[in-house]
Amino acid sequence: MSDHGFHVHGPHDHEIEHVAEHGSHDPSAGTIAVATAIIATVGALFSYMGGATQANAGLYKNNAAIKKTEASNQWNFYQAKSNKQNLAELATVIAPEDKRAGYKDEVERYKKEKADIKLAAEKLEAESKDWDEQSDAQMHVHHRWAQATTALQISIALAAMALLTKRRWLQWGMYGVAGLGTLLGVAAALHH
């Protein structure tokens, strides 16, 4: 009702007023309403889990990038040691005979340092790969949660149409799509 006494009915207002005044003759209306509330609650939980797995995937991807950067730093350090080793090897050839032994010692020291650096870099690369794989797995689970949530949202829409049109096939469609959404949610919970 507006301030000027002009009243416009929505398309479903008459049906709602009729049910309020005379009660519903459709015994399934209450069942659909309760089922819709349950589906909405489960959908909210699925949506939360979808968001959580997406956030985890982002965090894991960030950790992978950090480890990749640390590995790159180690490989740069390795390259610097290789350059110094190459200079020391050159010095063993062109330096006076009495200084060559010192350069040979440097070459051996750089070889050992490079071996340690290489191990550290390879370890960081493996950690980066592991974080990437965990991120990918979380995104897979996120997609399952999103599919489950979408199916439950569709079932809620079917419930509304079933209530408004009183079509039994829409009601069964609602239950079928809700069942599919629940199965997708179970698959997500089991990480498949």
pLDDT given for residue 8 in this prediction? 57
Residue 3 belongs to some domain of the structure: no
Residue 49 belongs to some domain of the structure: yes
Q: Which amino acid is at 31?
A: T
What domain range includes position 59?
32-189
| Local confidence band at 27 (pLDDT 50, 70, 90 cut-offs) | confident
pLDDT given for residue 3 in this prediction? 58
Kindly state the average pLDDT of the residues 125-140.
97
Q: How many CA atoms lie within 13 A of 151 on its CB side?
A: 21
Residue 23 belongs to some domain of the structure: no
- The count of structural domains within the chain is 1
Kindly state the average pLDDT of the residues 82-109.
93
**pTM of the shown model:** 0.72
Residue 159 belongs to some domain of the structure: yes
Residue 16 belongs to some domain of the structure: no
pLDDT given for residue 28 in this prediction? 83
Packing angle, helices 97-165 and 28-94, rounded to 10: 170
Q: Are 148 and 184 in contact (CB under 8 A)?
A: yes
